[in-house]
Chain A
Amino acid sequence: MSSNDTLQAHSDSHPPSPDSKGGGPYILLFFFIGVALSLVVGWGVFPKLLYSQKNQPFDFNHKNHLEMVDNGCQSCHFFRADGSFSGSPRLAQCVECHEEMQGQSEDEAIFVEEYVSKGQEVPWLVYARQPDCVFFSHSAHVNGAKMDCITCHGHIGTSESLKTYEFNRITGYSRDIWGRSISGLKSNSWDRMKMDDCAECHAKYDAVHDSSVQTKRDACFVCHK
């Protein structure tokens, strides 16, 4: 009771001052500064922190090679007899032409001196390597569904140099899997290759891909191992 009286007396003696609402604009200002800072951190700083960069052992000109080989991409990235896909070429394939220097480029000099003459495999960093739990069948997509390389890999065949390899510091996965766009928007089919991107295409052909009892789509074991 007595404390109530005191409170009453206290508030009576100090009526609300007319300029106490002057904090409003400042609060708004701090709010917008906060939003701006979050945006800068989220869109600019965090992606830089999240991804680490590595350079390939030496540069490679896909365009140049594609012009000289007879069988397109399959000249170097071919299927083995058991239906498995070779992926990045091994030294044995390169040596078929590059036993000795073919041109004058510095990159080829590195290749011949460091790898060919020492018989050492090139430790290529693979942009499109999927996580360990994924079974991706090149055979099913290229031989079965007759898809072309560009759908998933883009116009890598006409590129003149290799881009910097970026990988996620937490997962170790290549940035090409999650995609370069932080907003998550994608304009080309090859912009990223997450599970949703695989599922997007598989869902289009759901008459064929409906083996899962749980999801009525493709059973998990179609692409997982």
Chain B
Amino acid sequence: MKQTQTHNQKPPQRYGMAIDLDKCTGCGACMVACSAENNVPFKEDETNKLLSITWMKVFRITNGREFPHAEVCYLPRPCQHCAGQHEGHSPCVSVCPATATDYSAQTGIVSQIYTRCFGCRYCMGACPYHARYFNWWDPVWPVGMEKSLSPNVSPRMRGVVEKCSFCFHRYQLARDKAYAEDKREVGEAEYQTACAQACPAGAIVFGDLNNPEHAVSRIAQPDRHDHYKSQNPRAFRLLERLGTNTKVYYLSDREWVRKAGDNYLADENPSASTPPKEHA
């Protein structure tokens, strides 16, 4: 990390997302776009959602009150790409015995290498967001559909874990283009995730949190000196008090939605809480 920083002078990239829950209509276009983009396998019978693989999953949350005060909010959940209390101390990366999952200090993306994974599923146990999925079966594509798979994403086999990669293959392709143009940097529009592009409400904004020119960093306003906690009063991160230091920021004007982002006590005020201090 240190070397990377000194090398580039400016801070490395830190790809992240801002999702405006007040804009999200729960249509699920992000889930469909994600599955199509990333060759996510599905089964003939998907009625048991516990066995479904959804890198991006839209949850429905309610304020638990009765009509006319009942409110609903939809919460899209990709992999949160945790950085932890020090860069790279993601819950899943820390427990992987096979180095199958890794944290890149250059992009802040948590990778999953399927050929390296042997399916112990420690990472699934460690992930507080249930963002990781196990392949209980080999993928079986309907006849002819294998021709529509993306060659840029390698398909998974039975017995390995998979998860959202922030469409990293798109970053690889964007880097290819940048090299051809004799550049070293990838522009904001050149690397966007499939879900961000598919969202009809424009609720998902993706980009480099460390680059003040990127919309996501203006929205999320991460505080680099306080574990990237958002300085935007509308923003919160999921289970922020675990100290996972995630890169997906959620925004809402509604107090109960912000409160749903963590396990707050009834009389607790989310905006007053602070993440745990780093251990010595």
Measured CB to CB, the residues of A under 8 A from B are 79, 81-84, 131-133, 135, 137-140, 143-144, 207-208, 210-215, 219-222, 224-225
Contacts and interface: CB of A to CB of B under 8 A. Distances in A.
Given A132-B155, A212-B103, A140 B175 contact: yes
Contacts of B103: 212-214, 219
Chain B: number of interface residues, binned into ranges: 35 or more
B179 A139 contact: yes
B77 to A, nearest CB: 21
Contacts of B231: none
Contacts of A131: 115
A213 B1 contact: yes
Given A143-B182, A213-B93, A225-B168, A137 B175 contact: yes
11 contacts: A83-B173, A83-B175, A84-B173, A135-B152, A211-B105, A214-B88, A214-B93, A219-B104, A221-B168, A221-B172, A224-B154
A198 to B, nearest CB: 14
A220 B3 contact: no
A207 B3 contact: yes
Interface string B206-219: 00000000000000
Given A133-B154, A219-B103, A225-B153, 11 more contacts: A131-B115, A137-B176, A143-B180, A144-B179, A213-B87, A213-B105, A214-B99, A219-B106, A220-B111, A224-B154, A225-B172
Contacts of A220: 99, 102, 111, 113, 116
Contact of A83 (B1, B99, B152, B178): B178
A210 B172 CA distance: 17
A221 B153 CA distance: 12
Contacts of A213: 1, 87-88, 93, 102-105
A219 B178 CA distance: 19
A222 B105 CA distance: 12
Nearest to B100: A220
Contact of B104 (A140, A144, A211): A211
Contacts of A144: 179
Contacts, number: 106
Contacts of A212: 102-105
A50 B12 CA distance: 45
B165 interface: yes
A224 B178 CA distance: 19
B241 interface: no
A83 B102 contact: no
Top 7 A-B residue pairs of the complex, sorted by shortest distance between their CB atoms:
A213-B88, A83-B180, A219-B104, A83-B176, A211-B106, A83-B177, A221-B111
A225 B116 CA distance: 12
Nearest to B180: A83
A219 B177 CA distance: 20
Interface in B82-135: 87-88, 93, 99, 102-107, 109, 111, 113-116
Contacts of B88: 213-214
Nearest to A82: B177
Contacts of B12: 211
Contacts of B165: 221
A221 B104 contact: yes
Contacts of B102: 212-215, 219-221
Contacts of B259: none
A225 B180 contact: no
A140 B7 contact: no
A173 to B, nearest CB: 12
Given A213-B88, A220-B102, A225-B172, A83 B179 contact: yes
A207 B181 CA distance: 24
Contacts of A135: 152, 169, 172
B4 A210 contact: yes
A120 B183 CA distance: 37
A80 to B, nearest CB: 8
Contacts of A82: 173, 176-177, 180
A221 B181 CA distance: 22
